[in-house]
Amino acid sequence: MIALAAVIGYLVGSVPTAAYLARLRGVDLRGEGSGNPGSANALRVSGPLLAALVLIVEVGKGYGSVWIGAQVADETGAIAAGLGAVAGNVYNVWYRFRGGKGLGISLGVLAGVWPSVIVPVLVVILLAVLISRSSGIASLAAIAAMIVMAFLSSMLGWPTGGAESGPQLMVLAVGIGLIIFWKHWLDAPFTALARRESPESG
């Protein structure tokens, strides 16, 4: 049943809702801006309304996946479905496994399983953006903060607002981190500079 929850989560996460919403406004997120079907690119090519709609829907998909997973296989199913949803967003079968960056849907998953971590992670993102001026570095900092918070919650018994198992929070945090890491690593300025200076790129 846990595997079923993961598959359901993946299918929900992979539904290309951002592209559908963009088309309603005459925008092709895959062909404009950064080419990423997410809220950041929606903001870039169409403005705050589309970006907000995309983000709300992605958060809803993450939260909905967790809820369905919990019905299928309780708390473990919720974790499995949440990770499946993030994987479906990032490695989207409809886009030849080239999807979004997973932040919006990860926020929805956390809201469903571990809501108490959302504010600390958002604070880390804000501070990292203000200091580094890089969304890639901010995202990497958020991944690190989420894993640290999972470890501390597990060791110290901090309230989660959702899941009660420390080990499952570690699985969730590390799992989300592994799924979305590469996309955000590529966004970091030091990796972009390395690619520009690589002999192969010349």
pLDDT digits (tens, 9 = 90+) for 22-61: 988 888 888 888 778 888 888 888 889 999 999 999 999 9
Q: What is the pLDDT of residue 31?
A: 83
In this prediction the pTM is 0.88
Site of tokens 């951002």: 18
Q: Say how many domains are in the chain.
A: 1
Q: What is the pLDDT of residue 78?
A: 94
**Cβ 53 vs Cβ 71: under 8 Å:** no
Where is pLDDT greater, at 202 or 17? 17
Question: Which of 96-100, 146-150, 161-165, 167-171 has the highest average model confidence (pLDDT)?
Answer: 146-150
Three-state DSSP class for 163?
coil
Q: Which residues span the domain enclosing 75?
A: 2-201
